[in-house]
Amino acid sequence: MSSMTVANPPKGETAKLTNPLNPEGLKPCCACPETKSARDMCFLQHDSGEASDACKNLVQAHITCMRGYGFNI
């Protein structure tokens, strides 16, 4: 479970949740571009029957990266 902190906003502004693992507030689509692109290229280079085995390490690397930013995948 990831922890979130709530900043005390100036008067008149709403509070914003901040994930300490992702202080920039990256969306899942923009996080880990290196592992995402390597994973995607692997799936494009292999047919569907062998892609799951051939790309297993790249998929796991991408999952690890995403979890590093606090995404629960």
Spatial distance between the Cα atoms of 54 and 32, rounded to a whole number of angstroms:
20
Residues 69/26, Cβ–Cβ less than 8 Å: yes
Q: How far apart are CA 63 and CA 57, in angstroms?
A: 10
* Cα-trace Rg, the chain: 17
Listed by start position, the domains of the chain span 32-69
| 23-67 tens-digit pLDDT | 899 999 999 999 999 999 999 999 988 999 999 999 999 999 999
Instruction: Decide if 55 contacts 46 (C-beta within 8 A).
Output: yes
Known binding residues for Cu cation? 29-30
Q: What is the pLDDT of residues 10-33, one digit of tens each?
A: 665 555 677 899 989 999 999 999
Please say if the pLDDT value at position 2 is more than 60.
Answer: no
Could you tell me which residues are annotated as the binding site?
Answer: 29-30
